[in-house]
Amino acid sequence: MIRLTEFSHGAGCACKLSPADLRAVLGMVQAVPVTDPDLLVGFDTSDDAAVYRLRDDLAVVVTTDFFTPIVDDPYDWGRIAATNALSDVYAMGGTPLLALNLVAWPRDGLPFDLLARVLEGGQDVVRGAGALVAGGHSIDDAEPKYGLAVVGTVHPDRVLTNAGARVGDVLVLTKPIGLGVISTALKRGAADDGLVATAVTIMTTLNAGARDAAVALGDAVHAATDVTGFGLLGHLRELCAGSGLAAELDAAAVPVIDGVRDLVAAGMVAGGTQRNHAFIADSVDFGALPLDAQYLLADAQTSGGLLLAVAPERADDLVAGLRAHHTLAAAVVGRTVAGPAGTIRIV
């Protein structure tokens, strides 16, 4: 049996450049001021996707995401990668419309029938989301990679961003964390089949229901982001920095996949997670939280849930809505507070 994860230097979104790397690279790029008033969301807030207004009642959401194999089954890898790419549209409050495949494949190293299964997995997820795959691009590459470029739609007045949180907002998470730990254990041959199956189920669950629950509350949901490669703490930091606020995170309230804590204790920590932890260390007051628990909060997720900032008086309504839409979690994990922008205290 061919193990796709053996062809990957890292697992899924853990392969992303770290926030520190991105900051360094973007600091070398000469910024060109964007003055187009129809660009509603661009570079400024490290958001999940770009949003461009076409008319008063219609805007397009544009995003892309791709990564190396995170599981060995090609069909599941395709499904996970597609679910992950679509998530950026849902995080903006949008609806996916159209997708293009992004493929890198070692033509002399892996059979093309495996690639066909990857594409079938991605296509099935996109179709299940009510969108279309309409083409794509491929290159010959020593390391396989797959993902999507996605276009969606949203009403210009109903865009969710990571920059709108207000003091006192309740933070709600819609999927458990630990996916990076499991994918690392899989790559090292230390994850049992049941745990891998659980991770695949989580990573192939669309965030459409979470989007629906958030949008149903209208202006009460002030900010949103999806939790992927930078980990829960990294994406919370971006939300706080974009909103000019700080946050308190209740580590004990964060949902964690059963069995993951044991894997962390056994050293199943991705390199991407360690880079995440190093990057946020100066922004987070961990208190007495043990290092293993710190790594878990920085764990590089792939196709994780949405993190939503909701007005405190509507938090119960959001949790009820998330449960009604059968999201995998509806956990209140903290709140936003006044303080230095982008800082987090573990409570």
How much is the average pLDDT of 153-169?
A: 97
Is residue 191 located within the same domain as residue 113? no
User: Domain containing 72 — which CATH number?
Assistant: 3.30.1330.10
Is residue 245 located within the same domain as residue 221? yes
Confidence of residue 2 (pLDDT cuts 50, 70, 90): confident
How much is the average pLDDT of 79-94?
A: 98
The secondary element (H helix, E strand) that includes residue 290 is none
d(CA 31, CA 159): 25
Confidence of residue 129 (pLDDT cuts 50, 70, 90): very high
211 assigned to some structural domain: yes
Is residue 85 located within the same domain as residue 42? yes
Q: What is the pLDDT of residue 15?
A: 64
Is residue 211 located within the same domain as residue 149? no
User: Could you say which DSSP state residue 45 is in?
Assistant: T
- Exposed, middle or buried, 188 (CB in 10 Å: 0-12/13-18/19+)? middle
**Mean model confidence pLDDT for the chain:** 94
164 assigned to some structural domain: no
Is residue 13 located within the same domain as residue 134? yes
Number of domains present in the structure of the chain: 2
Is residue 222 located within the same domain as residue 143? no
Q: Which residues pair with 7 in a beta bridge?
A: none
Is residue 128 located within the same domain as residue 40? yes
102 assigned to some structural domain: yes
Half-sphere exposure for 129 (CA within 13 Å, toward CB): 35
Is residue 97 located within the same domain as residue 208? no
pLDDT digits (tens, 9 = 90+) for 7-37: 877 655 556 666 777 777 777 877 777 789 9
Q: Measured in whole angstroms, how far is the alpha carbon of residue 337 from the centre of its chain? A: 23
Is residue 149 located within the same domain as residue 183? no
Q: What is the pLDDT of residue 12?
A: 54
110 assigned to some structural domain: yes
Assess whether pLDDT exceeds 90 at residue 154: yes
Q: Give the pTM.
A: 0.94
270 assigned to some structural domain: yes
Domain boundary pick from 102, 127, 158: 158
CA 28 to each of CA 24, 31, 42: distance values in angstroms, whole numbers, following the listed order: 7, 9, 18
Is residue 81 located within the same domain as residue 181? no
Q: What is the pLDDT of residue 109?
A: 86
71 assigned to some structural domain: yes
Confidence of residue 48 (pLDDT cuts 50, 70, 90): confident
111 assigned to some structural domain: yes
Is residue 220 located within the same domain as residue 121? no
| Full domain range(s) for residue 212 | 170-346
Q: What is the pLDDT of residue 18?
A: 66
Is residue 182 located within the same domain as residue 258? yes
Q: What is the pLDDT of residue 10?
A: 61
pLDDT digits (tens, 9 = 90+) for 279-321: 999 999 999 999 999 999 999 999 999 999 999 999 999 999 9
15 is catalytic: no
Domain boundary pick from 91, 123, 158: 158
Q: Phi/psi zone of residue 311: left (φ > 0), alpha (ψ -120 to 50 degrees), beta? A: beta
Confidence of residue 74 (pLDDT cuts 50, 70, 90): very high
The DSSP result for 296-336, as a single string, is HHT---SS--EEEEE-GGGHHHHHHHHHHTT-S--EEEEEE
Domain boundary pick from 92, 125, 158: 158
165 assigned to some structural domain: no
Assess whether pLDDT exceeds 90 at residue 52: yes
User: Domain containing 188 — which CATH number?
Assistant: 3.90.650.10
**Three-state secondary structure along 51-95?**
EEEEECCEEEEEEEEEECCCCCCHHHHHHHHHHHHHHHHHHCCCE
For residue 310, which of 215, 246, 231 has the smallest C-alpha distance? 215
User: Could you say which DSSP state residue 169 is in?
Assistant: P
| H-helix segments, 92-191 | 112-128, 179-187
Distance from the first to the final alpha carbon of the chain: 46
Q: Which of 4, 8, 11, 13 is catalytic?
A: 13
Q: Measured in whole angstroms, how far is the alpha carbon of residue 255 from the centre of its chain? A: 16
Give strand ranges (E) for 109-178.
Answer: 132-140, 145-154, 170-173
